[in-house]
Chains A and B, each alone.
Chain A
């Protein structure tokens, strides 16, 4: 993919998000939810943290090259463009770590450096983009699948319902981790492959939920009225039922985002995560396996990745809960 095209994508995503939120704010249900969230300080803090992670991912997605033969460097890469250190160094240290004769470091490293002298803070920031892509793109794959099949099963019932239920029951009966391993073995390692594999294995929960909700809505007066007026099924599904399911979808996707970010870490630990050279917290945690067994222990690599992972997952969980309460205040009690 050319640089300009890969740079347009993050802008498109950010603009789309902005437009969607602005449009939602004009509708009474969402306007009320936004008003409630604004009053929830914890949720606002979580949102701020998510925005910081998102902004870091955005900065890491904007890249260009000095000339056609130079590597394409992102804003984050450029901010940390300096010679690598010889080997490990502890956070804020001035000398290398674990060598018989420690050597002075070339620069300051807040989170220390790893075995090949790479700055751990830089690697942690690089992990933001991977986490965001995995969460975002996987949901972009899983959510439409879940909505489509869930609504069809709930609305049409009978054989369509049987077929869809049968399919997702079979899929759900295979342990997720095994299915993921099998898919990644077939498709190979890489960020897109990982998103596809996670997408295939993570749509069933939302599909079940959507089916149940659709079954409920199918019997409501507004759907009956639409049918009586001769409106097509497709139009009823996407024009009338879908908007009523959106709050549920938004809550569900927000809460499952954190699960997907965690899944990447687990798969990387099993050496099935993103490809080598792609900054990822999972790869950092996997790399720290050997370091934790060292004496004295090298803890900063694991700590940095785990902390970043913990903060992002916690923020998403807090925000997801707040969003659920805001959309449906009856649940908060």
Chain B
């Protein structure tokens, strides 16, 4: 068919209109946002999703809803964290356990934990199982998960939690190490005295410890101890880190690194329900609206990897993200001077939730450093002086918009042993720095000058703060330290280089933080326990024998006045020695749309995804309202184009009309 020029124009215009009308700004496939799908984002891209080795927060948030554990946390109990049964059929039983020490050959009393697993558990369907159908889970799969933590190929970061406690676990690690040197695979067969299967009941297993360890129950709520199918390890080999297979509420449907993770409802998930009780006031706040409903409440979860906060914020405002965090950049737009949500945000159907992290950030001194480390009175006074010169409040104001508490000691709020009235004598900031300067003088550095050499003392600050916000951070600490009379030299390196310097003990002062693995003070005070030094969690290498003895005593105790007394004694010792300068107990401000069911953030659990419900229709309707195409710029562009073309057309026409005239 042959088009005339006019028809051609008409066809092109109609086709362009149809194509443009179909265009939208939605980053998702058409129709998806109207379904029961929860859209959220993560700035950090998970590197692996392996229960034995994943330790990053971004990995835990995904993995914990794929690989459930024996215990879980009651999500609504955030005042006193409470464990509930996950894959466990009954509460674990603790009993004294007598065994013969392999080295001394003498009888010792430890502790035996007996776990009974639910009988209705099945692994998610996967190609690693015969016929692609997930098989039943038994106690063997839990024991396999423990043994895998001793496998050097798995490189489990929490191996140390068990090495000195499970009887025979250290021998297993050593044996696996030897096998690795020979180029052989790890030993999964030789019996380990601390890891016992019940001979009669395939759903019962026992963990035998060489010491009482009440925190064992918390470790059974972490994904490291979730059941693992040996078939998956055999089938995927090294690639197992990209194929998490568990029996949680979700399965991994899609994982496109640096882009997207999609979780779908697991057809083999065990029955679990939304809790019907919470903290006082939760019912009135509507947090129990979904009580008794089977979990998960959404069919799918789409987690987008968004590294630029501006992009994420714009997607949230367009309704393409169900929730978002308040950051430095959007704080003033979101929070009014009274600290509540601004009217514009309220009109948009947005809800603001404030929550506290169970964690602490701090500057740390290397206790093995010849100048700032050590345990003499002078060294202690030197660290105390620096600690007194650091103003936490300025950090909180500048980097957290005033949201957060100035940390006083290592145990954060929400953890047993935290005392809101306690004030660390070396964290009391005085703008005149009177006491700090006195201590500096007593340490042998009057006005920051070395009394022996007359040289100004330099404090080297090793950090990975190379971005814009990081430079501000360094500038602030420099200013505070320089006010004391010391010179601060920042050594900023890339993250990997900095980490290797820290691990290699080649640093003087750095900054770090710790978030609760589990809600027990042991998980915080162990940061200063001598034997936990690198590669353990004790960054500073602090090693005070008195503190260590108290820790060992405290670790084995259940919460009570005696334990509290020990924690206070340890606090007094460590605050006096001052290996850490405590900065902040963070608070978080989160935003969510009203189509997403309200939910209380629980800082010690990563399973929030299964408790959220979404009104997809309401969301899709709002998205349509808020994202209508704006045509006028296109029309204006056309108008300008035409206006610019007209004179050119006139010029061409004039040229065509030109006639050669002959003058006589």
The interface bits of chain A over 281-301 (1 if a CB of B lies within 8 angstroms of the residue's CB, else 0) are 001001111110111100000
B465, chain A: closest CB distance, angstroms: 8
Q: Which of B328, B329, B448, B479 contacts A84 (CB 8 A)?
A: B479
Partner of B456, one of A69, A84, A114, A116: A69
Cβ B329 vs Cβ A294 within 8 A: yes
B333 closest partner in A (C-beta): A295
- B471: which of A99, A283, A291 is its contact (CB, 8 Å)? A283
A68 at the interface (CB under 8 A from B): yes
Q: Do A87 and B456 form a contact, CB below 8 Å, given A290-B328, A294-B330? A: no
Per DSSP, are chain A's interface residues mostly helix, strand or loop, or mixed?
A: loop
Task: Answer yes or no: A28 CB below 8 A from chain B CBs.
Answer: no
From the candidates A69, A116, A294, name the one contacting B475 in the complex (CB within 8 A): A116
Q: Are B468 and A99 in contact (CB under 8 A)?
A: no
Do A287 and B472 touch (CB < 8 A)? yes
> Are A294 and B455 in contact (CB-based, < 8 A)?
no
Q: How distant is the Cα of A69 from the Cα of B328 in the complex, in angstroms? A: 37
Q: Are B333 and A277 in contact (CB under 8 A)?
A: no
Q: Which residues does chain A contribute within 8 Å of B490, judged by CB atoms?
A: 276-277
CA distance A283 to B466 in the complex (A): 10
**Once the chains bind, are B337 and A276 in contact (CB under 8 Å)?**
no
Q: Are A289 and B468 in contact (CB under 8 A)?
A: yes
A70 to chain B, nearest CB (A): 8
Contact residues in A for B330 (Cβ distance below 8 Å): 293-295
User: A-B contact count, CB below 8 Å?
Assistant: 68
Task: Check B468–A295 contact: CB distance below 8 A.
Answer: no
Asked if B234 lies at the interface with its beta carbon under 8 angstroms from chain A, I say no
Interface residue A71 (Cβ < 8 Å from any Cβ of B): yes
Contact with A along B335-351 (1 / 0, CB 8 A): 00101000000000000
Contact mask for chain B residues 382-414; partner A; CB cutoff 8 A; 1 contact, 0 none: 000000000000100110001000000000000
Q: Is the C-beta of B240 less than 8 angstroms from some C-beta in chain A?
A: no
* A118 CA to B476 CA, complexed, in Å: 10
Contact B468 A294 (CB under 8 A): no
Among the interface residues B448, B468, B478, which one has the most CB atoms of the partner chain A within 10 A?
A: B468
User: Contact: B333 with A115, CB < 8 Å?
Assistant: no
CA distance A100 to B332 in the complex (A): 9
Smallest CB separation, A155 vs chain B (Å):
45
B310 within 8 A of A: yes
- Which residue of A71, A114, A116, A189 is within 8 Å of B479 (Cβ)? A116
Q: Name the contact of B398 in the complex, choosing from A116, A277, A286 (C-beta under 8 A).
A: A116
Contact A68 B487 (CB under 8 A): no
Distance in angstroms from A332 CB to nearest chain B CB is 29
| Bound complex: CA A71 to CA B458 (Å) | 12
Complex contact B328–A87 (CB within 8 A): no
Q: A71-B487, A116-B479 are in contact. Are A276 and B328 (CB under 8 A)?
A: no
Using A276-B474, A293-B313 as known contacts, list a sample of 12 further A-B pairs with CB atoms less than 8 Å apart, ordered by residue number in A. Answer: A68-B454, A68-B455, A86-B397, A114-B472, A116-B472, A116-B479, A275-B492, A277-B478, A277-B490, A290-B328, A293-B330, A294-B332
Q: Return the 10 tightest CB-CB contacts between A and B, nearest first.
A: A295-B333, A69-B456, A293-B329, A287-B468, A116-B475, A293-B310, A294-B329, A115-B472, A271-B466, A276-B492
A-B contact pairs, 17 of them (CB 8 A): A68-B454, A68-B455, A69-B449, A87-B397, A98-B332, A115-B472, A116-B398, A116-B475, A189-B492, A271-B466, A276-B490, A277-B474, A277-B490, A283-B471, A290-B468, A293-B330, A294-B332
Chain A interface residues (CB < 8 Å from chain B): 68-69, 71, 84, 86-87, 98-100, 114-116, 118, 189, 271, 275-277, 283, 286-291, 293-296
